Amino acid sequence: METLNLLAMGFEQALTPEALMFCLLGVSLGTFIGVLPGIGSLTTIALCLPLTFHLEPLLGLIMLAGIFYGAQYGSSTASILLNVPGSAPAAITCLDGYPMSRQGRAGIALFMTTIASFIGGSFAILLLVFFAPVLANFAISFSAADYFSIMILALTAASTLSVGSPVKGLAMVTFGLLLGMVGTDINSGQFRFTFGIPALTDGINLVALAMGLFGVAEILNNLNEGKVPQAGQEAITLKNMMPTKDDWKAFRYSCMRGSLIGSFIGMLPGTGPTIATFMAYAGEKKLSHHPEKFGHGAVEGISAPEAANNASVQAAFIPTLTLGVPGDAIMAVMLGGLLVHGITPGPQLVTTDAALFWGVVASFWIGNVLLLILNLPMIGLWVKLLSIPYRFLFPAVLFLICIGVYSVNNNRVDVLLTLGFGVMGFFLNRHGFASAPLLLGFVLGPLIEENFRRALVLSDSSLATFVERPISLVFLVLTAILLVFSLWRKTGTTHSRSQAAP
C-alpha cells in the first residue's frame, strides 16, 4: 500500500505541465534520433546533457530518460525499412523485419514492434516499482568495501560480457580508470595528471568524452564507410499496419518471453539491451516448432527482441538509481548527469529524495503512453525522415556537438578534447576496442577510488576488509568467476581456430 501511495505522489510530480512538456520533448527527440541510422541515443543524451544543467533535476532526468527509451522505439524503423539498425540493440530486428518489409508487410512489422516495445517497457516498469525499493532497503546495509566490490564486478562484467574481445574490453576499462584520475585528488587536493593545463584541474569533462567517443567517432565511421541507404517508397498507412490473427498468435507469447528476458538482463550491471535482444531472439528460435521461418519474416523474430530491448532499458534504471551502478554506457552518462546536479544515486535516493525517484518512475509510464501515441499514427512521418541526406545531417550534428560541449564550461579546451576523443574513438573502434567500457571506467573510477580509500580508513588500512564482509566477498568471487570464464572462452576460441587452420 505504501508503494502505491508513493507512486501516486510520483504521478503528481510527473503530471505537472513542465514535466509533461519535457517528457514529450525527450521521447519525441529520442524517437527522431532513433529513426536516423548511425547516430544513436548515447550521442543524443550526451548532446542534450548540457541543456539539463539549467533545469530542475527531476525535469532534466525525465527528459534524458525519455530520450533513452524513445530512441529504442524509433531504432527499429530503419532496421525494418533499410536493413540498417538505428542502434546496436536494433540490429537483430533486421533479420526478420527487413524480410517482412520486402514482402510488403512493413506496416505490420512497424506496428508489432511498437506494441512489443510498449508491453516490454511496461512490464519492466512494474518490476522497477516493486523491486527497486526492496533492493534499496537491502543496499542500505552496504559498506564502502561492498560498494567497491560491486563496482569492480560491474566493470568486469561490462568488459567481459560485452561484444568483442574480453581482453580489449578490460584494456578499455583500465584506460577509462586512468582518465578518471585526471584532475584534483579528492583527499589531498593535489593536482594530478593535468600536465600544467588549468582546464584539466577539475578533471576531463564527461560530456566532452562521451560526445567525442560516440558522437564524433560515429560520424567519422559513417563517413569512412560511405554508405548512405535510402528507404523504399511503400506507403505506410493505418490500414496496412493491421496484423492478422496468425500474427497476433505468434506475437502473444514471444512478446511475454522477450519482456521477461529483457527485464532480467537489464537489471544486471554490464549487460545492456544489445545482449538482451540477442538472447531473446536466440531463445525464440530455439523454442519455435518452425525455426526455419526465422530470417525470412517471422513475427516472433521482431516481437521478442523489441520487447526485450525496451524492457532491458527500463530495468537498467534499477541498479543505476538504487545502487549507483550503471548497467551500460548510456546509464553511465545519466549517472554523471545526476552527479552534476548534486544528486548521488544509491539506496538513500529512494527515501531521502522520494519525490525525485517516484516522479521519474511515474514519468516512464507516461513516456511509454506518449510513445505509443506518437509512433502508431506518425509512423509515416518517421519514415520520411529517413530520406534526409547524410551530407546535410552530419555537419548539423557536429555543429551541435561543439556548441553543447562549449556551453558546459565555456571552455575551448573541451571542444578540442571532444574532437581529439572522437578521432581516438574512431581508430579504437576500427581495431576492435569498444568505447562503452572506457566510459564506464571513467564514470565509476572516482567512485571506486573513493570507496576503496574509505574502506581502508575504516579498517585501519587492512585489505582483509574486502573479503571479511560477506557481501563484498560474494561480489569479488563473482568477479573472479567472470574473469576465469572469459579467459577460458578466449582460450577455447583461439584453440578452435588453430585446429581449423590448415
**Distances from the Cα of 263 to the Cαs of 131, 268, 441, in angstroms?**
11, 9, 24
Determine the pLDDT at residue 226.
Answer: 66
Determine the pLDDT at residue 221.
Answer: 78
Percent of the chain exceeding pLDDT 90 equals: 1
| DSSP letter, residue 166 | H
- Give the tens place of pLDDT for each residue, 131-182: 777 766 666 667 788 878 877 877 777 666 555 677 787 888 888 888 888 8
Determine the pLDDT at residue 482.
Answer: 78
Percent of the chain exceeding pLDDT 70 equals: 80
State how far Cα 112 lies from the chain centre: 22
Is residue 492 predicted with pLDDT exceeding 80? no
Q: What's the pLDDT band for 491 if we cut at 50, 70, 90?
A: low
Is residue 293 predicted with pLDDT exceeding 70? yes
Contacts of 485 (CB under 8 A, 6+ apart): 160
- Higher pLDDT residue, 149 or 207? 149
Determine the pLDDT at residue 445.
Answer: 79
Determine the pLDDT at residue 159.
Answer: 67
What pairs with residue 183 in β-bridges?
192
H-type alpha helices, 83-234: 94-102, 106-139, 144-160, 166-180, 206-210, 217-225
Determine the pLDDT at residue 318.
Answer: 78
Is residue 501 predicted with pLDDT exceeding 70? no
Determine the pLDDT at residue 407.
Answer: 65
Mean pLDDT of the chain: 77
DSSP state letters, 178-198: HHHT-EE-TTT--EES-TT-G
Determine the pLDDT at residue 200.
Answer: 78
Q: What is the mean pLDDT of residues 231-251?
A: 69
Residue with cell 564524433: 216
Determine the pLDDT at residue 287.
Answer: 79
Is residue 380 predicted with pLDDT exceeding 80? no
Q: Which of 1, 11, 6 is nearest to 350 (CA)?
A: 6
Q: Which long-range CB contacts under 8 A does 2-6 form with residues at least 24 apart?
A: 3/129, 3/130, 3/133, 6/133, 6/354, 6/358
Q: What's the pLDDT band for 95 if we cut at 50, 70, 90?
A: confident
What pairs with residue 184 in β-bridges?
191
Q: What's the pLDDT band for 237 if we cut at 50, 70, 90?
A: low
- Give the tens place of pLDDT for each residue, 329-379: 677 777 777 777 777 777 777 777 778 888 888 888 898 888 888 777 776
Q: What's the pLDDT band for 263 if we cut at 50, 70, 90?
A: confident
- Higher pLDDT residue, 116 or 167? 116
Determine the pLDDT at residue 388.
Answer: 64
Determine the pLDDT at residue 45.
Answer: 74
What pairs with residue 401 in β-bridges?
none
- Give the tens place of pLDDT for each residue, 7-54: 888 888 888 999 999 999 888 888 877 776 556 666 677 777 777 777
- Higher pLDDT residue, 495 or 43? 43
Q: What's the pLDDT band for 315 if we cut at 50, 70, 90?
A: confident
Highest mean pLDDT among 37-51, 202-216, 332-346, 409-423: 409-423
Side-chain half-sphere CA neighbours of 404 within 13 A: 28
Tell me the C-alpha distance between 222 and 211, whole Å: 15
Determine the pLDDT at residue 227.
Answer: 55
For 84, the enclosing helix (H) or strand (E) is none
- Higher pLDDT residue, 134 or 297? 297
Query: 48 with 42: CB under 8 angstroms?
Result: no
Query: 320 with 339: CB under 8 angstroms?
Result: no
Q: What is the mean pLDDT of residues 197-221?
A: 76
Determine the pLDDT at residue 319.
Answer: 77
Highest mean pLDDT among 41-45, 76-80, 233-237: 76-80
Q: List, in sequence order, every beta strand (DSSP E) within 163-253.
A: 183-184, 191-192
